[in-house]
Structure 1
Amino acid sequence: MTVPLWPELRQAAHRVDELVAKLPEPGARGPEERAELAAAKDTARALRTRYLHTHADAVYDHLTSGGADELRIAELVGAAADAFPALLPTAGQLAADRARRQADKEGYEIDQGIFLRAVLGSPRSGPHLLDAMLRPTPRALRLLPEFTRTGVLETTSVRMERRDGAAYLTMCRDDCLNAEDEQQVDDMETAVDLALLDPEVRVGVVRGGPMSHPRYRGRRVFSAGINLKSLHAGAISLVGFLLRRELGYLHKLVRGVRTDTAPWHTPTVEKPWVAAVETFAIGGGTQLLLVFDHVLAASDACLSLPAAREGIVPGAANFRLGRHTGPRISRQVILQGRRIRATEPDARLLIDEVVEPEEMDTAVVGAVERLGGPAVVPNRRMLGGAEEPVEEFRRYMAEFALQQALRLYGEDVIGKVGRFAGRGA
């Protein structure tokens, strides 16, 4: 270890561990016990923040062998916890928290957020981590030979089929209106990787499948956003869901997949993407639309980002939405929960074509044909670099890593997702 931890940081972390060990379980603590532990955690977190402000690059170099190793965020935080005790929560601490519902967790993910804000915020380490997250996942590489042979992928939450040079990715969590959880994030990243890596695919299409939910039975639904039941149960993690989603498959939709088989003139393989929105795109569903090259919407569909109601940060929507709509509308949507219907004029800032529901299949085929030309990819690359510079994205995600971690443990968030789960929605 080239950069020893400060003794005062070790002592502060040890004090937190002592209190956690002697106090009752989180849900059974009284006000004075909660206040005492919160003060101890604040002291340790302030010291971690100061330490990483100075030593983040040295810590990252140690963990990645000076940048020779590319670690995804889950691997990175695990390696940091092993190599730098007291800087990040241990695997045991995270496992104990994982078994609890959100209201009863210790909040160790906040310490991961402190660490990842420092790493992503570094102009040297942050780009290296972003590049590591653009690599195809091991699961996708394992499935690639079968997909290139058959043109079909079947997972728990995603089905993808290659037809006539297009990869048709259907989100098929019919039981929960395509509300995203960690399984769906894993399946989506796998599918996006495969579509990008398959040389026979020129264009990708994302669409929601028919639902079995009683209220929408038989109708296609694009996405209901984050799975609030999973969040209430403690099954939505900062690293495995919230950050992996943004730095994994969403970022790959924007910039492509980083692979050694890419052409000599670019480190990534990227392709144009079409979204077909039916019924609604709520929360994370609308976030998705902001990274597509062409968005189709049925005339009876609507879009929303209910971040204020849920109490969390809507991914990178704060970064991207205003570039589409301007600042006034982005504040109305994110801060005040404005819902935009596909047929209203402002929707054209987010949607390219509005079609009648029965015309969607034909409209998708038309969009795929228009985006299949050889000049599309170099032009989208130039547009993307101008509209969303990677350095601006990195700085946004650095702050997001901590702010979203803090929001996960806000009392308002815990109360809201608890009420949602209690309604059985």
Structure 2
Amino acid sequence: MSVPLWPELQEAAHRVDELVVALPEPGARLPEERAEIAAAKDAARALRMRYLRTHADAVYARLTSDGLDELRLAELVEAAAAEFPALVPTAGQLAADRGRRQADKEGYEIDQGIFLRAVLGSPQAGPHLLDAMLRPTPRALRLLPEFTRTGVVETTSVRVERRDGAAYLTMCRDDCLNAEDDQQVDDMETAVDLALLDPEVRVGVLRGGTMTHPRYQGRRVFSAGINLKSLHSGGISLVGFLLRRELGYIHKLLRGVRTEDAPWHSRTVEKPWVAAVETFAIGGGTQLLLVFDHVLAASDAYLSLPAAREGIVPGAGNFRLGRHTGPRVSRQIILQGRRIRAAEPDARLLIDEVVEPEEIDAAVAGAVERLRSPAVVPNRRMLNGAEEPVEEFRRYMAEFALQQALRLYGEDVIGKVGRFAGQGA
């Protein structure tokens, strides 16, 4: 199928490219130079939005051979760059930005956000992409024989261990209090895939490992959220982190993994999940809890979603949090940075079980035992389908793709992450 780009869109994209070559590096531009290239980018982006309103389905069909090919996010934007270079940034443009601090980037990922907003927003292309993202990763398939044989896989940031029919995933980035970056997202999706694919696993458990950080030496920490130092240095990507995280392993925790080994009556292999929070679950850590079947926490732990403080959108937290807490509390948490301490009454909106720190191991074992029943999986499927219809999730993620891309390059975000990165955890 031929899907020609509009000449005016090609001209606008070429004008941006000319300015990038002619002007100094982004961090060295004068105010008038920044205004000139911003206007050129805005003009090109407005044309991209208009073009995709009409042609998103045709573009997606061209890239996926009319839906025969299932491309993951990274593969899709790479294919689009090769086929439609004026529509999304090329590999060379992204590579040039990748080595820069966030403050010094051109912001090409905003154009990826425009493209993925259109794809995810399409009732035809969007579901196809969501299904592609529920496939197990090639890395997980390579490691699966080792895991089924030994019951243990160690990655850089997550250890997976099978014991008595349960998969225990331990986040072990003790250098950064389990703050997430592209590497941890890759490791987490691999770990979730392994737990879902192993036929001996009935229940999954996620927990933070023991830290060596001076302030938390010897204590388990669930998650410090997004790694702000990586964001400041330009190491947090829209496709590889922010979107892959939501459409990859978090969505798999909720919906399961698509595989040929799924039962005939289900499109995916699903399993129930337990999360155990010790010390704190900040930002992305709290987002994770919203898709778990049983959440338990130590009595001295706390939860927070400091989105307004950081200046970004907290993943699908805006979509899911209010369902748990109601609209007033969700606004207090997201817009005003309210912390929820495990011991306070409102914590029971997010946490099923609060125990003393020394009782966590026994509480985890009890939760695993309760979730082993064969009736748990079909009932969680029905609950999840009623509480979070996949079409509503798709529409939310379409808008998130663009809004989060814009936030990544907001001047307030760049200023804030620079200060946070200097503070340490």
> Does TM, scored on the shorter chain, surpass 0.5?
yes
Deviations 1:182-215 (A, max 9, x none): 1100000000000000000000000000000000
* Cα distance in 1 for residues equivalent to 2:408 and 2:127: 26
* Cα distance in 2 for residues equivalent to 1:89 and 1:41: 12
Amino acid at match of 2:120: L
Provide closer, same or farther for how the CA distance between residues 370 and 424 of structure 1 changes in structure 2, counting only shifts above 3 A: closer
Aligned residue in 1 for 2:153: 153
Deviations 1:101-159 (A, max 9, x none): 00000000000000000000000000000000000000000000010000001010001
Aligned residue in 2 for 1:337: 337
Tell me the CA shift for residue 422 of structure 1. 2.2
SS in 2 for 1:258: coil
* Cα distance in 2 for residues equivalent to 1:197 and 1:166: 12
* Cα distance in 2 for residues equivalent to 1:132 and 1:7: 32
Aligned residue in 2 for 1:413: 413
Aligned residue in 2 for 1:283: 283
Tell me the CA shift for residue 268 of structure 1. 0.1
Aligned residue in 1 for 2:107: 107
Aligned residue in 2 for 1:381: 381
Tell me the CA shift for residue 85 of structure 1. 1.7
SS in 2 for 1:297: strand
**Following superposition of structure 1 onto structure 2, how do residues 153-302 of structure 1 map, counting pairs within 5 Å?**
153-302=153-302
SS in 1 for 2:263: coil
Tell me the CA shift for residue 48 of structure 1. 0.2
Q: Structure 1: which 5+ residue stretches go unaligned? A: none
**Following superposition of structure 1 onto structure 2, how do residues 353-364 of structure 1 map, counting pairs within 5 Å?**
353-364=353-364
Tell me the CA shift for residue 411 of structure 1. 0.3
* Cα distance in 2 for residues equivalent to 1:218 and 1:154: 20
* Cα distance in 1 for residues equivalent to 2:273 and 2:401: 27
Aligned residue in 1 for 2:22: 22
SS in 2 for 1:274: strand
* Cα distance in 2 for residues equivalent to 1:372 and 1:2: 52
Matched, 1:402 2:388: no
TM-score normalised over the length of structure 1 = 1.00
Aligned residue in 2 for 1:44: 44
SS in 2 for 1:242: helix
Provide closer, same or farther for how the CA distance between residues 295 and 424 of structure 1 changes in structure 2, counting only shifts above 3 A: closer
* Cα distance in 2 for residues equivalent to 1:375 and 1:136: 25
Q: Structure 2: which 5+ residue stretches go unaligned? A: none
Across the aligned residues of Structure 1 and Structure 2, the Cα RMSD in angstroms comes to 0.5
Amino acid at match of 1:343: A
SS in 2 for 1:50: helix
Tell me the CA shift for residue 416 of structure 1. 0.4
* Cα distance in 2 for residues equivalent to 1:160 and 1:194: 8
**Following superposition of structure 1 onto structure 2, how do residues 49-68 of structure 1 map, counting pairs within 5 Å?**
49-68=49-68
Aligned residue in 2 for 1:351: 351
Aligned residue in 1 for 2:12: 12
Matched, 1:71 2:76: no
Aligned residues: 425
Aligned residue in 2 for 1:119: 119
TM-score normalised over the length of structure 2 = 1.00
Amino acid at match of 2:361: D
SS in 2 for 1:107: coil
* Cα distance in 1 for residues equivalent to 2:70 and 2:163: 34
Amino acid at match of 2:346: D
Matched, 1:312 2:312: yes
Runs of 4+ in 1 over 2 A off after TM superposition: 422-425
SS in 2 for 1:204: strand
* Cα distance in 1 for residues equivalent to 2:40 and 2:385: 44
Deviations 1:57-80 (A, max 9, x none): 000000000000000000000000
SS in 2 for 1:269: coil
Amino acid at match of 1:179: A
* Cα distance in 1 for residues equivalent to 2:347 and 2:372: 25
Identity fraction in percent: 88
* Cα distance in 1 for residues equivalent to 2:288 and 2:319: 13
* Cα distance in 1 for residues equivalent to 2:235 and 2:422: 16
